[in-house]
Amino acid sequence: MTSCLKESMVFRVIFITFFFCLLVAPSIAELQRFKHNQKANRPLNFLVIGDWGRKGTYNQTLVAKQMGILGEKQDIDFVINVGDNFYEDGLTGVDDPAFYESFVNIYTAPSLQKTWYSVLGNHDYRGVVEAQLSPILREKDSRWVCLRSFILNAGIVEFFFVDTTPFKDDYFDDPEDHTYDWNGVIPREAYLSNLLKDVDSALAQSDATWKIVVGHHTIKTAGHHGNTVELEEQLLPILKANNVDAYINGHDHCLEHIVDSESGIHYLTSGGGSKAWRGDIKPWKPEELKLYYDGQGFMSVQITKNKADIVFYDVFGKVLHTSSIPKDLNPAA
Ligand SMILES: *[C@@H]1O[C@H](CO)[C@@H](O)[C@H](O)[C@H]1NC(C)=O
Residue of 58, 274, 277 to test ligand 1 pocket, by largest number of atoms within 8 Å of CB? 277
**pTM, two decimal places:** 0.91
For residue 291, pLDDT over 70 is answered with yes
178 catalytic per annotation: no
Closest CA to 298 of 116, 57, 67, 65: 67
Question: What is the rounded end-to-end Cα distance, in angstroms, of the chain?
Answer: 67
Binding site for Fe cation, residues? 51, 84, 87, 122, 216, 251, 253
pLDDT in tens, 4-61: 556 666 666 555 555 554 444 444 458 999 999 988 889 999 999 999 999 999 999 9
The backbone torsions φ and ψ at residue 302, rounded to the nearest 5 degrees and listed phi first, read -125, 125
Residue of 52, 59, 298, 318 to test ligand 1 pocket, by largest number of atoms within 8 Å of CB? 59
The chain-wide mean pLDDT, for the chain, equals: 93
| Any domain includes 9 | no
Mean pLDDT of 263-280: 97
Q: What atom of ligand 1 comes closest to residue 276's alpha carbon? A: 14
How far away, in angstroms, is 92 Cα from ligand 1 center?
Answer: 29
For residue 107, pLDDT over 50 is answered with yes
How far away, in angstroms, is 59 Cα from ligand 1 center?
Answer: 6
pLDDT at 174: 78
Report the length, in residues, of the chain.
333
| Any domain includes 222 | yes
For residue 177, pLDDT over 90 is answered with no
| Any domain includes 21 | no
**Which amino acid, residue 36?**
H
Nearest CA to ligand 1 atom 13: 58
What's the rounded Cα separation, in Å, for the pair 51 and 59? 12
Nearest CA to ligand 1 atom 7: 295
Q: Which band of pLDDT confidence, cut at 50, 70 and 90, is reported for residue 102?
A: very high
Nearest CA to ligand 1 atom 1: 59
| Any domain includes 302 | yes
How many domains, the chain?
A: 1
How far away, in angstroms, is 273 Cα from ligand 1 center?
Answer: 12
Q: Establish whether the linkage from the previous residue to 175 is cis, with ω within 30° of 0.
A: no
| Any domain includes 16 | no
Q: Which band of pLDDT confidence, cut at 50, 70 and 90, is reported for residue 140?
A: very high
| Any domain includes 19 | no
Q: What atom of ligand 1 comes closest to residue 314's alpha carbon? A: 5
pLDDT in tens, 205-257: 999 999 999 999 999 999 999 999 999 999 999 999 999 999 999 999 999 99
Residue, of 281 and 28, whose pLDDT is higher: 281
Q: What atom of ligand 1 comes closest to residue 274's alpha carbon? A: 14
CB atoms within 10 A of CB 273: 32
**H-run or E-run covering 230:** helix 229-234
Nearest CA to ligand 1 atom 8: 59
pLDDT at 26: 42
The backbone torsions φ and ψ at residue 292, rounded to the nearest 5 degrees and listed phi first, read -140, 110
Mean pLDDT of 304-326: 98
Longest CA pairwise span in the chain (Å): 84
pLDDT at 5: 57
| Any domain includes 202 | yes
Residue of 60, 293, 296, 312 to test ligand 1 pocket, by largest number of atoms within 8 Å of CB? 296
Tell the burial category of 258 from Cβ atoms under 10 Å away from its Cβ (0-12, 13-18, 19+). Answer: buried
CATH number where 225 lies: 3.60.21.10
Q: What angle do CA 172, 81, 154 make, to 5 degrees?
A: 120
How far away, in angstroms, is 291 Cα from ligand 1 center?
Answer: 19
The whole domain housing 210 covers 29-326
DSSP letter at 124? G
Mean pLDDT of 116-134: 98
**Which amino acid, residue 289?**
L
For residue 133, pLDDT over 90 is answered with yes
| Any domain includes 20 | no
Taking CB atoms and a 6 Å cutoff, what residues make up the pocket around ligand 1? 58-59, 276-277, 295-296, 314-315
Residue, of 286 and 23, whose pLDDT is higher: 286
Q: Which band of pLDDT confidence, cut at 50, 70 and 90, is reported for residue 1?
A: very low
pLDDT at 331: 61
Catalytic residue among 123, 225, 257, 266: 225
Mean pLDDT of 192-214: 98
